[in-house]
Structure 1
Amino acid sequence: MNKPLDMQTLVGLKDPAAELARFVVSLKAEDIPSEVRARARHHLLDAAGIALASTKYDFAQRTFNAIAGLGGSGRVPVIGMPMSLAPRDAATVNGLLCHGLDFDDTHLGGIVHPTASALPVSLSAAIHTGASGRDLVTAAIIGIETSARIGAVAKGGFHQVGFHPTGLVGAFGCALAAGYLFGLSERELTHAQGIVLSFASGSLEFLEDGAWNKRIHPGWAAAAGITAAALAKQGFKGAGLPYFGRFGLFASHLGPLVEQCDFSLAAKDLGQSWEVLNTAIKPYPACHFTHACVDAAIQLREQGVQPDEIVEIEALVPAEVVKVVCEPEASKKKPANSYEAQFSIPYLVACGLALGKLTLTELEEPALTDPAILALAQKVRYSTDPASPFPRAYSGEVRATLKDGRTLTVREEINRGAPDRPLSDADILEKFRANAASSVNPAAAARIEAAVLGLDDCTDVEASARALAG
C-alpha cells in the first residue's frame, strides 16, 4: 500500500491544488505581460499548423470517424476539416491533430507538450461559453502554465516508470483552463483538479510498437479536463488531495521516485514567472529528446562527412531519455513505422548524416526502408552523457569515427528551440506556413494565421474559429 508523502518533505508547502485554484480565479488578462500573450499566440499558431498537416494522415480521419460516430456534429470546428463537433468531442480530435506528428512544443522541465491540449480545451470551452478571444488566450496560458509546473514537480520521473506526462498532467492543466472559462469559483477549481485525478492517463507502451496511443493523449487530456470542470460547476465533489494524497498523482504514479519530486515547483513564482516562455518550439517532427543529436549529425554532414567514410557513430544522450529514444536497440535501428522512427536516435542520426535534413518526408516511405539510411543506423550506438544539463535542456553529441582513423565530434549543449536558444516568432511563422501548405491553400492559411494571431482582439470566437476549418 502507498504511504502518505513524508510530511517532512512537505513542510512549509501549501497544497498545490489550492494554490493553483487561487491563481486561476484571481488571474485577469491584463495581469499577463503583453510579450507573454504574444508568444502564447504564436504557440497556438504552431499547434494549429501541425493540426492542419496531421489531417492528411490516416490516423486523423479514422479518429474523426470514431468520435463523430459516437456523438454527431456540434459547434466547435475541427482544425483543417470542414466539420464541427460537440465541445468535448472536438477537444479530443483537435488534441490528436495538434500532437499527431510529434512536432508540437515541449516544456523542457515538465517534459510535457502543453499547447496540444491547452488549445483544444480552450477553443471548445470558449465557444461553449461564448467567451472572447482574449479569454481563450488567457485560458490557454493557464493550461500551459499549470500543466508545465505539475510536470516539472516529477523531475522526469513519469517517463522512467512508463507514463506520458502530456496525457497525465495535461489533464490537470485542461481542467483549470476550462474551469477559468466556465467561471468556476476557487472551491470548484480545487474540486475540478480532484475530479480529473481519476481521468488523467497516458502510457508509454506505444514505444514498443509505434502504436497510435500517444497521438490521442492531449485530446484525451482536453476531454478529461473539460469534463472535470463541467462536473465541478454542477457541484460534483473531487478528491481533496489530488497531488499530496496517499493515492494522489505523484505517490500513485511514481512509487519510490516520489522522493525526488520538488513540490515547490508547482506554485513557485506563480503570476511572476511565465512557463510559456520556457516552452520550446520544435524545429523537427520527432521526439524532442532527439533534436540535439539530429542537429549535431546534420552539422557533421555539412562539415563534409560522407556516410561511406563512417566506421562507427556514438550518440551521447541524457541518461533520463535512454528508455524513450534508445531502447530496445533492435527496433530503434530498424523502425517499423514513422512513429517508431520519431523516437529513434539511430534512425534520426542516420537521416541527419545521410541526407542533411529531417522533415516529415524522412519519416515516411521510401526513407524508412532506404538501405543506405538503415545501414548507417546500424552503426549508431548510444552512451549516456555525464555532462548533460537535462532537464534544463536536452543536450546531444555525435561522434563519427572515420575509416582514416579520425573521430569528428559535434556537441549541442542546448538544443535549438530551448528557452536559451528559442526559435524566433519569424521562425514559428515559417514553420506554420510550411505545415499549412501541406493541407490548405495560401489564402486559407493566411486566414488561419490572422485569426489565431488576432485572438486577443476577437470578440466572437465562434465566428473567428470558422477559419480553422480551412
Structure 2
Amino acid sequence: MKQGSIDITAQLLAYALAEPPEDVRAVMRLSLLDWAACGMAGHRDGAFDAWAATLDTDGPATRFDGRGGTMAEAALVNGTLSHALDYDDTHFAHIGHPSVAVIPAALAMAQMQGVPLNDMVDAAVVGAEASVATGLWLGRGHYQVGFHQTATAGAFGATIAAARLLCLDGDKMRHALGLCSTMASGLKSQFGTMGKPLNAGLAARTGVEATLWAQAGMTASPDGLAGALGFGETHHGARAKVPFAWRMGSVSHKFHACCHGLHAALETVRDVPLRDATRVEVHTHPRWMTVCNQAAPDTGLGAKFSYAHVLAMTAHGMDTGKISAFTDACAQNPRLVSWRGRVTVSPVDDLTEMQARVIVDGAERFHDLDTPLPFETRANRIHEKARALVGARADEIAQAIKDDDLPAFAQLLTS
C-alpha cells in the first residue's frame, strides 16, 4: 500500500463535517441551476421514459419525470436523466461529472429531512469535494484502465453528501463508505450508450442506499475504500496522498452539448471559417483518444463523442450548444460524413486534458479551458444555457435557489 493511502477515508469524513467557503457555495448554486436545467431537458428528450416507468415504487421524493419515488429510486432516476444529454458540469482534476452523482442524493436526503435548500447546497458541496478527492486518490490509471470516475468516485461523494444530511456519526459514516466501496461501479465502455448516464444514477442511488443502510445499523469494513483488498487496491487505484482542499470552485460547466473533452477544440475554432478548409489537425491529450474520438458515429449520441463530427457541424454552421442539433440524422448527414474525413486527431503528451491545439490548413490555434471565467460571466452563460434548455422556468428555479426554498425548487423540477 502506498504511503498516505490510509488517509483518504479520514479526509472524506473531514469533508462531511466541514463548512464550505462562500465562493465555493456560490459556484455550487450555479451548478444546481445547471443540473436542474440539464435534468429537465433530459426528461423532455424522452429517451429514458420507458426505463423510468419501470421504477414505479411510490414515495415522497421528487423525480424529473413527475412521479413521486423512494429516496433511492429518485436519486437513480434524477442522476440518470441529468446526465442523459451529457451537458452537465465536469471536474477535470479527475475527469468526472460531480453534480449528477451528488446532487440527486443530496436532494433526496434533504427532502426526507425537511431542511432548507442551503443545507442541501452545503451537502452537495462537501459531496462533490469528496468525489473529486476520491478521484484524485484513485488517479488517472483508474480512469484510463476503463473505470468511469463519475460512477466510482461519484458514489463516494454521494455517500458523503447523504451522510451529512442524515447527521451520521463517524462510525456510521465509515460503515456507509464501506458499503459504498462494495457497491460502486461503472465502466467507460458504456460511453456513447444509455449506460453512461445510468452510471451517474447508480452512483447517486448507491450514496442514498449506503447511507440509509448504515443508519439502520448495517455494518461494513471500516476501511473498505483504502484497506487491504479495498476499492483502491482492487480497482487500479494509485492511492496517492491528496491534500485537503476546496476544488469545486474550478468545476467546468459545459457550453457545448457534447463530451467535455471536445470543448477545448471547439472553443479553439469558434471564430474560424472551416467549411472550405482542406485539412484540420486536432492535437489533444492522449486520454481523450479513447473517450471522444469516434471516427464514424452514426447516432446523435455517438456524435457527442467525435472530434471529427462536431468540427464538421461547426464547419456547416450548426450550433453545438443546442441539444437538438445532435440527432441521428445529423450523424448520418452525407455532407457532414464526407467533411469529417478532413479531420485527423493526434495525441500529444505536452497538452493537458483542458487544452487543445487545432491546425487549420497550416494555421495553428490553441485554447485552454482551465483559463478561469469571471464569476459573473460564468453565471450569465449558465443562465443563458438554462433558459435555452427550459425557457422561463430557468428564472423561477434560479429565484428558488436564491430564496433558499427547497419545496419550490423541487416542485419546479417537474412542472
TM-score using structure 1 length: 0.83
Cα-to-partner distance string for 1:358-381 (whole Å, 9 max, x where unaligned): 122321143222212111112211
Report the Cα offset of residue 96 of structure 1: 1.0
Work out whether residues 282 and 346 of structure 2, in 8 Å CA contact, stay in contact via their aligned partners in 1.
Answer: yes
Q: Quick check: 1:399 aligned with 2:387?
A: no
Given the alignment, which residue of 389, 395, 403 partners 1:454? 403
SS where residue 355 of structure 1 aligns?
A: coil
Determine the C-alpha separation between the residues in 2 that align with 1:419 and 1:454. 31
Q: Quick check: 1:217 aligned with 2:199?
A: yes
Report the Cα offset of residue 136 of structure 1: 0.8
SS where residue 316 of structure 1 aligns?
A: strand
Given the alignment, which residue of 240, 250, 262 partners 1:263? 240
Q: Quick check: 1:294 aligned with 2:276?
A: no
Determine the C-alpha separation between the residues in 2 that align with 1:446 and 1:264. 42
Determine the C-alpha separation between the residues in 2 that align with 1:156 and 1:350. 30
Amino acid at match of 1:244: A
Determine the C-alpha separation between the residues in 2 that align with 1:78 and 1:351. 34
Work out whether residues 298 and 357 of structure 1, in 8 Å CA contact, stay in contact via their aligned partners in 2.
Answer: no
Look up the match of 1:112: 96
Look up the match of 1:433: 387
Determine the C-alpha separation between the residues in 1 that align with 2:104 and 2:371. 24
Q: Quick check: 1:180 aligned with 2:161?
A: no
Report the Cα offset of residue 33 of structure 1: 2.4
Determine the C-alpha separation between the residues in 2 that align with 1:212 and 1:283. 21
Determine the C-alpha separation between the residues in 2 that align with 1:361 and 1:57. 9
Given the alignment, which residue of 309, 315, 325 partners 1:362? 325
Given the alignment, which residue of 78, 89, 101 partners 2:63? 78
CA RMSD of aligned residues (A): 1.9
Cα-to-partner distance string for 1:9-67 (whole Å, 9 max, x where unaligned): 315x652112321341x33xxx3222221221111110000111111223231232121
Gaps of 5+ in 2: none
Given the alignment, which residue of 254, 257, 265 partners 1:282? 254
Determine the C-alpha separation between the residues in 2 that align with 1:369 and 1:454. 46
Work out whether residues 102 and 127 of structure 2, in 8 Å CA contact, stay in contact via their aligned partners in 1.
Answer: yes
Look up the match of 2:214: 232
Look up the match of 1:410: 365
Determine the C-alpha separation between the residues in 1 that align with 2:340 and 2:269. 12
Look up the match of 1:10: 3
Cα-to-partner distance string for 1:420-467 (whole Å, 9 max, x where unaligned): 346511111111111112xxxx2x443222123333xx3xx3454222
Pairing of 1:138-149 with structure 2 (within 5 A):
138-149=122-133
CA pair 127-37 structure 1, distance change in 2 beyond 3 A:
same
SS where residue 424 of structure 1 aligns?
A: helix
Look up the match of 2:342: 379
Given the alignment, which residue of 340, 355, 359 partners 2:302? 340
Determine the C-alpha separation between the residues in 1 that align with 2:168 and 2:349. 46
SS where residue 59 of structure 2 aligns?
A: strand
Gaps of 5+ in 1: 327-331, 402-406
Look up the match of 1:329: none
Determine the C-alpha separation between the residues in 2 that align with 1:446 and 1:323. 38
Pairing of 1:103-182 with structure 2 (within 5 A):
103-182=87-166
Determine the C-alpha separation between the residues in 1 that align with 2:178 and 2:385. 38
Work out whether residues 298 and 328 of structure 2, in 8 Å CA contact, stay in contact via their aligned partners in 1.
Answer: no
Amino acid at match of 2:327: E
Determine the C-alpha separation between the residues in 1 that align with 2:119 and 2:98. 18
Q: Quick check: 1:316 aligned with 2:283?
A: yes
Determine the C-alpha separation between the residues in 2 that align with 1:310 and 1:90. 48
Amino acid at match of 1:78: R
Work out whether residues 86 and 259 of structure 2, in 8 Å CA contact, stay in contact via their aligned partners in 1.
Answer: yes
Residues paired across the two proteins, number = 412
Cα-to-partner distance string for 1:334-390 (whole Å, 9 max, x where unaligned): 212122111111111222222263122321143222212111112211111232133
Look up the match of 1:466: 411
Off by >4 Å, runs of 4+ in structure 1: none
SS where residue 396 of structure 1 aligns?
A: strand
SS where residue 360 of structure 2 aligns?
A: strand
CA pair 355-154 structure 1, distance change in 2 beyond 3 A:
farther
Amino acid at match of 1:380: V
CA pair 314-464 structure 1, distance change in 2 beyond 3 A:
closer
Report the Cα offset of residue 419 of structure 1: 6.0
Determine the C-alpha separation between the residues in 1 that align with 2:412 and 2:316. 39
